[in-house]
Amino acid sequence: MRTLYNILFIIFFALSSPYYFWRMRRRGNWRPGFPERFARYSPALKQVLTNRHVLWLHAVSVGEVNLCTQLIRALEPRVPNVKIVVSTTTTTGMAELRRRLPSHISKIYYPIDRRRFVNRALAVINPEAIVLVEAEIWPNFLWRAQRLNLPVFLANARLSDKSFRGYRRFGFLFKPLFASFAGVGAQNETDAARLREVGCRPEAIHIVGNLKFDAAKLDERRSLDVPAMLRQLGAPADAQILVAGSTHDGEEMLLVEITRRLRARFPKLFLVLVPRHFERCGELGRKLRERDVKFICRGDIFANMQLREGEAECLLVNTTGELRHFYEHATLTFVGKSITAIGGQNPIEPGALGKAMVFGPNMQNFADAARSFLAQDAAMQVHNPDELEKAFAVLLADENRRAELGRNALKVVRENLGALDRTVEMVVEKLGRRGIYVTPQK
């Protein structure tokens, strides 16, 4: 089976690599660290890892990086003698790691899952344990970790309907891999049941909750001066700011048309679009110009810019890592990938800021969080564009209703904190068994 997997992987890699390299080039900044994808690491990294106990954490992209950085901050004081290495797959993920984490945390790219690259990577990093943030299952990597007797953990594990079906369909390959995990932090009993079905050992599964509630960081300081930026764009001080977060194809133009109609009733309405994939902003900008939308890209704002009121009706955010800053100053929020796409994006971020939020019918990736918000009257869910426009109109007209939704959302987030500490305990307990010094829990 392993031989067959490696033959098929090489064929698939050869066929798909032009597309993935094109995507990397499109995102930009792909050259730094590129050899690391083939486990070619710098002498400096090898030197700092020599004679050290190492804990390797992996976060696929930007969404997982936020969880990973919070996990690292919680783990560091518990394992003071351990060197932490964190990897990611995407250039945007690496940019966030470099922005969020101090220099003493080593940041690398995850190796391509070819046997010789994986073997070389694990030989260089030589970790005591590995933590994968959310389900990122690469067979060669896990097979090699098994052979080296390395404990591997899944943090914030959840299985979407699609991935659950796939892992079950190819159970002959994945069941032994899931059975190899030393610890699995499941978000809830539903995920735990699915994880057991795909092969995880019952004794390895810990129901810890959703790390994304803790990762929202209610007390995190923010440095971006959004009000000043909006004043530069001519937005009045009492503007009503609709922030559409992590939007996907089709949602942006829908929101533009809705806000244009709503301005007849709410003339100070200003739209902030934050696409999930910033590289789409070039194409989005072209579509906005075709519709004669007066917009400014976030990356084009400079210190001395000052527009008159009405010169811009929309801000298109073509940068990464700033969505939370815009949510903080929103009058009303929309959670993307929920009305013209399937899956949904994170509703916890606006909830943690006490913001009124609206999302569409497709919240499969955050189903439990969405249910919690809806059950406690902490969000509004709509089923089509007409309902979305009506919901916006109701909330823009009713400040008290917005405040009520925001208070309830903040309550939901606070009631669900604690997954971070439980995940840390799952990991450090195993490290302690391996003879690594672990400080007591405070």
Within this chain, do residues 150 and 80 fall inside the same structural domain, yes or no? yes
- Cα separation values, 287 from 241, 313, 317, 385, Å: 22, 15, 15, 19
Residue 58 backbone class (left: φ over 0; alpha: ψ -120 to 50; beta: rest)? beta
In a domain, 218, yes or no: no
| Structure confidence at residue 218 (pLDDT) | 56
Are 146 and 247 in the same domain? no
How high does pLDDT run on average in the chain? 93
pLDDT of residue 1: 80
Whole-number pLDDT of residue 219:
55
384 part of a folded domain: yes
Among 306, 312, 350, which residue's Cα sits nearest to residue 331?
350
**Do 290 and 168 lie in a common domain?**
no
pLDDT tens for residues 101-133? 999 999 999 999 999 999 999 999 999 999 999
Amino acid in position 264: A
Give yes or no for a contact between 83 and 48, defined as CB atoms under 8 angstroms apart. yes
SS3 99: helix
Residue 290 sits in the same domain as residue 339: yes
Q: What percent of the chain has pLDDT over 70?
A: 99
The DSSP bridge pattern shows strands 357-359 and 314-316 to be: unpaired
Answer yes or no: do 300 and 427 share one domain. no
pTM for the model stands at: 0.85
Task: List the domain range (segments joined by +) for residue 121.
Answer: 2-209+418-433
Could you tell me if 241 and 176 lie in one domain? no
For the cut 80, the answer to whether the pLDDT of residue 27 exceeds it is: no
pLDDT value for 317:
96
Judged by DSSP in three states, 33 sits in: coil
Distance of CA 337 to the CA centre of its chain: 13
| Predicted confidence band of residue 382 (pLDDT cuts 50, 70, 90) | very high
Q: Are 256 and 167 found together in one domain? A: no
pLDDT at 321: 83
DSSP alpha helix (H) spans, 182-334: 189-197, 211-215, 226-232, 251-262, 281-290, 323-328
The one-character DSSP state at 273 is E
pLDDT tens sequence across 152-186: 999 999 888 888 999 999 999 999 999 999 999 99
Residue 220: predicted pLDDT = 57
Same domain, 410 and 425: no
Is residue 285 located within the same domain as residue 268? yes
Closest by CA position to 347, among listed 297, 432, 281, 416:
416
Tokens of 85: 């290495």
Q: What is the tens place of the pLDDT at every residue in 196-248? A: 999 999 999 999 999 999 988 655 556 789 999 999 999 998 999 999 999 99
Q: What is the pLDDT of residues 348-367, one digit of tens each?
A: 999 999 999 999 999 998 99
Output the pLDDT for position 344. 95
Average pLDDT of the residues in 6-20: 86
Q: Are 293 and 314 in contact (CB under 8 A)?
A: yes
What's the confidence (pLDDT) of residue 226? 94
Same domain? 105 vs 189: yes
DSSP string, 332-397: EEEESSSSSSSS---SHHHHHTT--EEE-S--GGGHHHHHHHHHTT--EE-SSHHHHHHHHHHHHH
Residue 74 pLDDT > 90 = yes
What average pLDDT does this structure show over 68-72?
94
**216 located within any domain:** no
Whether 377 shows a pLDDT value over 60: the answer reads yes
CATH code of residue 169: 3.40.50.11720
Q: How far apart are CA 278 and CA 357, in angstroms?
A: 22
Give the C-alpha separation, 269 to 396, whole Å: 9
Q: Per the structure, how many domains does the chain have? A: 2
Task: Taking residues 316-342, report their average pLDDT.
Answer: 94
> 346 pLDDT band (50/70/90 cuts)?
very high
Indicate if 158 and 300 belong to the same structural domain: no
Mean pLDDT of 402-420: 96
Q: What is the pLDDT of residue 136?
A: 78
pLDDT of residue 217: 67
217 within some domain? no
Whether the predicted pLDDT of 406 surpasses 70:
yes
